[in-house]
Amino acid sequence: MQGNRLYEGQKLALKYFMVAIVLFGAQLLFGLVAAIQFLYPNFLFNILDFSIARILHINALVVWLLYAMIGAVYWLLPDEAGIEVVGVKLGNLAFYILTAAVAVVVLVYLFIQIGPGKESTIWFITEGREYIEAPRWADIGIVAVVLVFLYNVYATVMKGKHTGILVVLMADLIALAGLYLAGMFYTDNIAVDQYWWWWVVHLWVEATWEVYVAAVGGYILIKTLNANRKVVEMWLWIEVAMMFGSGILGLGHHYFWIGTPEYWWEIGALFSALEPVPLVGLFVHVLYDWGKERGKGNNIKNTPAFAWLTVETFGNFLGAGVWGFMHTLPQINLYTHGTQWPAAHGHLAFFGAYVAILIGAIYLAIQGKAGLKEMRMTKASWWAITLITVGVLIMSVSLTISAYVQTMVERGQYGGTWEGYFIAQANQWFVQGMGWRLFSGLAVVVGYGFLVYDLLTIDKKQPAEVREGAVAAA
Amino acid sequence: MENRPSVWSSNRFWRRSATWVTGVASVLLVFLTFDSMGQMKMGTAADIKNKVDKRIPSPLVINYKIDYKLNKTRGHEIPIIGGMDANGYSKYEEKEKFFGKDNWSEKEAKALIHKGKLTIQAKNCMDCHTLLGNGAYYAPDLTKAWLDPTWETLASAYGGKEYAIAKFLENPPAMAMHERKMPNLGITKEEAKAVVAYLKFMSAIDTNGFPRNFGKIKGAVDARK
Ligand code: HEM
Ligand code: HEM
Ligand SMILES: [Fe+2]
């Protein structure tokens, strides 16, 4: 980045970030609707049923994370490669096409919702498969747009510098995009359907996305702490080895009960139990670099970005590592599978591993856009990070308590029947957990308000010494 | 002693390790996937005739009585299709009428299953329910819904379990049992029949004993009462 001037690729990144933050708001809103329906089932009944609210909640989540991930790559790509993004015009066109397609899909979810039991519904309304409900036409559109993105990344790196971070990202992004194809076909065999569905869901969040985070986390460390690139890149390769080494076969922890052979019990248990190891590594690495640089008396160049990165490393370890491990052994998963357990883990893991770091990346871009050498936290930054983080943590603990009731009462006592399900749902501790989830969800929404405000104003709220630095640099 | 850089802090060493580890894990996954896909192929009419147990049975199981019983050898419950033999496995003998007949042809049964699966996706069932334990947690798991004791108690009033479930699916609020209701999803008569067939077929999938003790435990304390 030259002074205040941004690369075209970085301007494109800002567009991606903007849509991401808007969709984050939509995600929270529909989560709130779904959470209210657990307590007051008549709320929006027959208008916006739970299924529709939930689809919008989790699809908005996945789509905004992908937007922010693409945005972060467009941000760091010209900076790392040292040249403008190749094909950035095409990239802009792809951005508008993708955004228009997302808008159409959302409108169809909201207003058409469901269709008759025919192939045409799968093509044009919904595929009815959790997280990847988007109809087939949209799948094909997404693949086309992602191909443009991949082309831009590859062409730019080929022409510019090949840093370790970029090399890891190139390999990772192609795997990430390729895996989406595993979710793009129809079969009458529900076991085979779910087998491939997990290739997309698990091999995204527990393999390719984790490696993405390790790479972008390395970049943020270099930017905020001036961390030593050689050490960062060595750690990155170690992380890649550990993440792919455990995560790829860790896929087996989803193949215990869906009509799959028994050998997945052992394979899934062993490899998924190893998955937390790299997450500890990530966390230790950040703390280590932080201590080292602070020890030298160096300032953190962007305190909000660094704070979110710290939340990321700890949240990733806690949400994915600890909460994931708690239900990953088949002996336990037999009773937790299909209860609120995965929801408790899913919230903390998605937030800890992905939401936090991508917010950090957005702060980094805000700093770059304003041309500030250093950017400090404001009061609003503090409220945003505190309310959102503590809110999600309380939400996950509440869901865990509700989940325990389900495993003990619905599964343990009643063998998982229709009646057993509702006996557990009516249990006072279960209901209290749902109440706390709603309450903490509201805290997250308030935190989101602070976040939006902060992202729009933080550059103007910097203390005098920081702003003067910017003037001097310009 | 000479101070040579250690291999443990060499980027090249770790890059190679990462590539190898990823490659080996991927190859193993592909190999296991081929094996699993072989074992998970949907069964055929011949399999039923030859009494071959398939993890995913033939759609023709809709012509048979289905049960979920403990198998001593495997140490957990397994689906029992058409009666149980002395060793605790399926006999494929006892038939059961499904919408009035127990001789659905393979073609008819396949067509029903096909429409049922499409309807399940088209109505987003998995965004309220879990199927095989995956999906959403707002409503009961449907893996063994066909065998649910509540349907057994409703069966006689509707002239058979399949009629009761179909009637429910066509207009769930009319048969609501709880304050949290299932909405009317505009499921037609034909679609309802197909979905019920799918539920029956799904209850015969071998899920390695999930869910455990389905419908077996009686006499536990019901805190609602
Ligand atoms: C950032 C990483 C991770 C994310 C974002 C994540 C997210 C999720 C989500 C959303 C689900 C629920 C899927 C559904 O809707 O059915 C899930 C399931 C699960 N996760 Fe993770 N996860 C992560 C890492 C891990 C790790 C490291 C482990 C194990 C140590 C783990 C263990 C599990 C297990 C066992 C389930 C299956 C629950 C079931 O269906 O019974 N996860 N994960
Ligand atoms: C950063 C914040 C959030 C993230 C990352 C997130 C993520 C997720 C994920 C991954 C799932 C699917 C879980 C599964 O199937 O296992 C989910 C479901 C859900 N979320 Fe969130 N969510 C967030 C915020 C919220 C908020 C604020 C609320 C409202 C209070 C909320 C309410 C819900 C509800 C009700 C479900 C449905 C769970 C069920 O099927 O029982 N979420 N969310
Ligand atoms: Fe997983």
Q: Is B133 left (phi over 0), alpha (psi -120 to 50) or beta?
A: left
Say if residue A472's pLDDT is above 60.
no
Q: A400 C-alpha vs ligand 1 centroid, how far in Å?
A: 14
Handedness of CA B182, A128, A350, A26 (dihedral sign): negative
Distance from the Cα of A247 to chain B's closest Cα (Å) equals 9
Contact with chain B for residue A2, Cβ under 8 A: no
Say if residue A471's pLDDT is above 70.
no
Residue found by looking up tokens 């501790």 in the block: A429
Average pLDDT score over chain A: 95
Residue A226 and residue A298 in contact, taking contact as beta carbons nearer than 8 Å? yes
Say if residue A328's pLDDT is above 60.
yes
Q: Which residues contact A411 (CB under 8 A, 6 or more apart)?
A: A335, A339, A420, B211, B212, B213
Cα separation of B1 and B54, whole Å? 66
Residue B161 and residue B155 in contact, taking contact as beta carbons nearer than 8 Å? yes
Q: How confident is the model over B8-22, as a mean pLDDT?
A: 93
Q: B26 C-alpha vs ligand 3 centroid, how far in Å?
A: 16
Q: With an 8 Å Cβ cutoff, are B136 and A164 in contact? A: no
Q: How confident is the model over B131-159, as a mean pLDDT?
A: 97
pLDDT interval class at A1 (50, 70, 90):
very low
pLDDT in the model for residue A447: 98
First to last CA, chain A: 12
Cα separation of A322 and A334, whole Å? 18
Q: Which residue in chain B has the smallest CA separation from A338?
A: B133
Handedness of CA B177, B179, B182, B184 (dihedral sign): positive
What are the extents of the domains in chain A? 1-162
pLDDT in the model for residue A2: 45
Contact with chain B for residue A172, Cβ under 8 A: no
Contact with chain A for residue B155, Cβ under 8 A: no
pLDDT in the model for residue B219: 66
ipTM of the complex: 0.96
- Look at A459 and A281; give whichever has higher pLDDT: A459
Q: How confident is the model over A191-210, as a mean pLDDT?
A: 97
Distance from the Cα of A471 to chain B's closest Cα (Å) equals 39
Residue A417 and residue B214 in contact, taking contact as beta carbons nearer than 8 Å? yes
Q: Return the minimum-mean-pLDDT range out of A12-16, B8-12, B168-172.
A: B8-12
Contact with chain A for residue B45, Cβ under 8 A: no
Tokens of A244: 């792919």
Say if residue A214's pLDDT is above 50.
yes
Residue A430 and residue A402 in contact, taking contact as beta carbons nearer than 8 Å? yes
Q: Which residue in chain A has the smallest CA separation from B79?
A: A259
pLDDT in the model for residue B2: 61
Tokens of B34: 């081929």
**A82, amino acid identity:** G
Q: What are residue B3's phi and psi, to 5 degrees?
A: -100, 80
Check if A342 has its Cβ closer than 6 Å to any atom of ligand 1.
yes
pLDDT interval class at A474 (50, 70, 90):
very low
pLDDT in the model for residue B225: 60
Architecture in CATH for domain B45-216: Orthogonal Bundle (1.10)
pLDDT in the model for residue B224: 72
pLDDT digits (tens, 9 = 90+) for A411-440: 999 999 999 999 999 999 999 999 999 999
What stretches of A296-427 show up as alpha helix (H) in DSSP?
A: 303-315, 323-326, 330-336, 340-350, 356-370, 379-405, 418-426
Q: How confident is the model over B80-89, as a mean pLDDT?
A: 96
Say if residue B46's pLDDT is above 90.
yes
pLDDT in the model for residue B1: 53
| Cα atoms in the 13 Å half-sphere on the side-chain side of A333 | 27
Residue A375 and residue A459 in contact, taking contact as beta carbons nearer than 8 Å? yes
pLDDT in the model for residue B105: 98
Q: How confident is the model over A266-282, as a mean pLDDT?
A: 94
pLDDT in the model for residue A464: 84
Say if residue B53 is exposed, middle or buried (CB neighbours under 10 Å; 0-12, 13-18, 19+). middle
Contact with chain B for residue A241, Cβ under 8 A: yes
Q: Which residue in chain B has the smallest CA separation from A207?
A: B22
Please name the residues between 188 and 217 in chain B that touch chain A, using a CB distance below 8 Å: 188, 191, 194-195, 202, 205-217
Cα separation of A451 and A447, whole Å? 6
Q: Whose CA is nearest to atom 31 of ligand 1?
A: A324
Q: A57 C-alpha vs ligand 2 centroid, how far in Å?
A: 7
Strand partners, A347: none
Residue A189 and residue B42 in contact, taking contact as beta carbons nearer than 8 Å? yes
pLDDT digits (tens, 9 = 90+) for B181-205: 999 999 999 999 999 999 999 999 9
pLDDT interval class at A469 (50, 70, 90):
low
What are the extents of the domains in chain B? 7-40, 45-216
Q: Are strands B66-71 and B76-81 parallel, antiparallel or unpaired?
A: antiparallel
Say if residue A460's pLDDT is above 60.
yes
> Which long-range CB contacts under 8 A does A83-87 form with residues at least 24 apart?
A83/A156, A83/A159, A83/A160, A84/A7, A84/A8, A84/A9, A84/A156, A85/A7, A85/A8, A85/A9, A85/A12, A85/A152, A85/A156, A86/A152, A86/A155, A86/A156, A86/A159, A87/A148, A87/A151, A87/A152, A87/A155, A87/A156
DSSP states along B153-180? HHHGGGTSHHHHHHHHHHSGGGG--SSS
pLDDT interval class at A285 (50, 70, 90):
confident
Residue A427 and residue A408 in contact, taking contact as beta carbons nearer than 8 Å? no
